[in-house]
Structure 1
Amino acid sequence: MSRLIRSRFPNWINNWINRRIPRADVQVLTQRNLFILPTAAGVVFGLLLLIMLLTGINYQNSLIYLVTFLLGAVFVGAMHQTHRNLSGLELTLVQAGEGFAGDDVIFRLRVAAGKDDAIALTLSGDEREVPVAHVPAGQSADVSLPVPSVFRGYLRPDRIRIETRFPFGLLKAWTWMRPVASAVVFPRPIVAPEAISAVDDGEQTASSRSPEGNDHAELRPWRDGDMSQRVMWKRFARSGQMVVADWEADKGSPHWLDFNAFAGTDHELRLGYLSWLVLERSKSGARFGLNLPGQVIDPDSGPAHATRCLRALAVWGEEKPRDTSAAQHGSRKRADIHKPEEATLGAQL
């Protein structure tokens, strides 16, 4: 019975908090959603007051009574001030950021004070804390909260905590914000092996280009995974340097980054390869298109096009988190990373 209570009690608490604090990107802190409890120092302070009171009763000492009641009044005043420090505050999620898997993704929040100043606030989420020193009454302050990411996909922290222990640290008042908006986490770039896309761009197919007929090829050192057909063997015979002709560096015509070009590899690994290729093409300013199962992005160039492609890679095969669900590190489980084929087969069955 005790084990059953221990297993169900956290779920009951979480359900109660979720009902009391619904998901929203704008939250006003009121009596309904604010919580206050003594800190460890406050508990010790209260025990000392109790001991002093018992001592005063035992010895009928008026001075002990005076000090005890004076310190008790300070404790009650601190409780009201701690609660008042958060009451009326408005917390707004301004922007859910973007980043690569494994990095911190920035969530931009705005803290707007009510009729009273907000002093010594702390915002936290997923083991990251950001202090906010002082927000004058009627003004606002922008805060950048880093949230750690693990997987690609949508990232939405279940709760963002705002807390204060002002003025004496004897009590803490806090609440949570449960955002609706989700950040987008791009696949972690992985250096891609040489691969040829079979997508026809309307001008020429990458697999049909002739090394001898392309005068715009760029030469680069050989890397592990490069195809032997692209090695400049004549130059190797003359100089002993292993170089390959990189026709994908040609900026005169669009090129395709193809999901199906990496046959036999894991789906998540393919997305990592494509993420790296998108960054490489973006650095060189080359035109490229992206071919994913169920989605095709036409060839283009520029930072906006690269960001669009990275977003497509990030959310491919993903469902946006529902308002009632919690997706702390993206919308996939760790098992999906290692067994994507089994997960796809199970969904079909």
Structure 2
Amino acid sequence: MSRLTRSRWQTWVKKWINRRIPRSDVQLLTQRNLFILPTAAGVVFCMLLLIMLITGINYQNSLIYLVTFLLGAVFVGAMHQTHRNLSDLELTLVQAGEGFAGDDILFRLRAAAGKDDAIALTLSDDDFSVRVGHVPAGQSIDIALRVPSAFRGYLRPDQIRIETRFPFGLLKAWSWMRPVSAGLVFPRPIAAPEVISAVDDGDQTASSRSPEGNDHAELRPWREGDMSQRVMWKRYARSGQMVVADWEADKGSPHWLDFDAFPGTDHELRLSYLSWLVLERGENNTRFGLNLPGQIIEPESGPAHTTRCLRALATWGEKKPRETVAQPHGTRRYSPSDRPSDATPGAPV
């Protein structure tokens, strides 16, 4: 089979599966969306049964007939048991995870068995799998499935596969879950250069400044809680004294993290810088605000504020995945022409 033919065949199969299994955060496994086929061991088993049957017919041997039909009955019984193992099982996406780009994001699912026990289940994404030993009838169990991330933005697995080969491994029954909800991937934190925002409390400007070389700064000894961007590191390297620059009010507020404070830097790198600064402020429980093109988060402090800022960085310039369009790992990105302009006026959120 040529590559082109194989690609067309895979595309057709994927479209057929997508029509048969629409996106949903709750998936009930029934005859409509359950599939079953022999495994490699099952194919060999069937071939041996066929050889035994032909041998019994050829020699008219009743004992060979008996063994053949008994083993055939075992195969049929295994087929019903394997299918029943997944029948009426309900999968629910409980929580779509959050994390940083390059990390594995946890998606929490709940498997609830129907009137029969579900035994020896395997849930898998493209890269990771989780084995579930036993879900008693009428009960549920929570499962954490890792999904790899590469870029910031929305993260949605195209398909989550659930499979069982119980009881004998001769057949495998499987289905898919295609979740609607997407997780969030924050920008990977990268240590930011020493700049300070040019945003005054209540006003927004387009310039940025470095602590070094500002003639309107007052120097004072470092105190716990001061931002690392305001420390005069060159002076510290020369003299060993850690001093901090206090800026005049008309030179920008130190409470702001500003997207425009890194001129000439790639947008994604700016977001990684801001992600690092947000984490640093969050660890120090420092009050800060976030200024992004088209979005302003007013200065606050605390874990909830830190998470809110990270989510804003993750989704800036990203479109949420639509239910009808699947992409690997769910990230949908703007084209360069669609990205918000740096000059877009922001409104407080």
Normalising by structure 2, what TM-score?
0.86
2:65 alignment counterpart: 65
Deviation at 1:50, TM superposition (A): 0.9
Contact 1:290 1:296 in 2 (8 A): yes
2:294 alignment counterpart: 294
Measured in 2, the distance between the counterparts of 1:10 and 1:325 equals: 17
Deviation at 1:202, TM superposition (A): 5.1
Query: Which residue of the other structure, out of 332, 336, 339, is the alignment partner of 1:344?
Result: 336
- Structure 2, unaligned runs of 5 or more: 248-252, 341-349
Q: Which amino acid aligns with 2:174?
A: W
Deviation at 1:247, TM superposition (A): 5.9
Matching of residue 256 in structure 1 with residue 262 in structure 2: no
Deviation at 1:263, TM superposition (A): 0.6
Give matches, 1:270-349, under 5 Å.
270-332=270-332, 343-345=335-337
Deviation at 1:4, TM superposition (A): 4.7
Q: Which amino acid aligns with 2:95?
A: Q
More helix by share: 1
Contact 1:254 1:286 in 2 (8 A): no
What's the secondary structure of 2:282's corresponding residue?
A: helix
What's the secondary structure of 1:93's corresponding residue?
A: strand
2:218 alignment counterpart: 212
- Describe the superposition over 1:38-94 as per-residue Cα deviations: whole angstroms up to 9, x where unpaired: 001101111111111111122221111111110000000000000000011111111
1:165 alignment counterpart: 165
Measured in 2, the distance between the counterparts of 1:194 and 1:73 equals: 75
2:345 alignment counterpart: none
What's the secondary structure of 1:274's corresponding residue?
A: helix
- Describe the superposition over 1:136-155 as per-residue Cα deviations: whole angstroms up to 9, x where unpaired: 11111111111111100000
Measured in 1, the distance between the counterparts of 2:149 and 2:61 equals: 60
Change (3 A) 1:219 1:300: closer
Measured in 2, the distance between the counterparts of 1:94 and 1:231 equals: 47
Contact 2:106 2:145 in 1 (8 A): yes
Measured in 1, the distance between the counterparts of 2:339 and 2:134 equals: 51
Deviation at 1:231, TM superposition (A): 4.5
1:194 alignment counterpart: 194
1:33 alignment counterpart: 33
Measured in 1, the distance between the counterparts of 2:100 and 2:332 equals: 15
Q: Which amino acid aligns with 2:286?
A: A
Number of residue pairs matched by the alignment? 328
Measured in 2, the distance between the counterparts of 1:209 and 1:218 equals: 24
1:339 alignment counterpart: none
What's the secondary structure of 2:281's corresponding residue?
A: helix
2:144 alignment counterpart: 144
Measured in 2, the distance between the counterparts of 1:219 and 1:166 equals: 58
Greater mean alpha carbon deviation, residues 273-282 or residues 1-10: 1-10
Contact 1:157 1:328 in 2 (8 A): yes
Change (3 A) 1:90 1:2: same
- Describe the superposition over 1:141-195 as per-residue Cα deviations: whole angstroms up to 9, x where unpaired: 1111111111000000001111110000000000000000000000010111111
What's the secondary structure of 1:329's corresponding residue?
A: helix
Measured in 2, the distance between the counterparts of 1:137 and 1:107 equals: 24
Measured in 2, the distance between the counterparts of 1:345 and 1:298 equals: 28
Deviation at 1:211, TM superposition (A): 4.0
Q: Which amino acid aligns with 2:259?
A: F
Change (3 A) 1:108 1:78: same
Measured in 2, the distance between the counterparts of 1:198 and 1:5 equals: 58
Change (3 A) 1:246 1:218: farther
What's the secondary structure of 2:308's corresponding residue?
A: helix
Normalising by structure 1, what TM-score?
0.86
Query: Which residue of the other structure, out of 229, 232, 249, is the alignment partner of 1:230?
Result: 232
Q: Which amino acid aligns with 2:195?
A: A
Measured in 1, the distance between the counterparts of 2:17 and 2:77 equals: 27
Measured in 2, the distance between the counterparts of 1:89 and 1:200 equals: 57
Q: Which amino acid aligns with 1:295?
A: Q
1:340 alignment counterpart: none
Q: Which amino acid aligns with 1:95?
A: Q
1:85 alignment counterpart: 85
Contact 1:218 1:246 in 2 (8 A): no
What's the secondary structure of 2:108's corresponding residue?
A: strand
Percent identity over the alignment is 71
2:95 alignment counterpart: 95
Measured in 1, the distance between the counterparts of 2:7 and 2:237 equals: 68
Matching of residue 176 in structure 1 with residue 173 in structure 2: no
Measured in 2, the distance between the counterparts of 1:209 and 1:77 equals: 86
- Describe the superposition over 1:214-253 as per-residue Cα deviations: whole angstroms up to 9, x where unpaired: 5665699x9xxx89x93464x766xx437563769xxxx8
Q: Which amino acid aligns with 1:181?
A: S
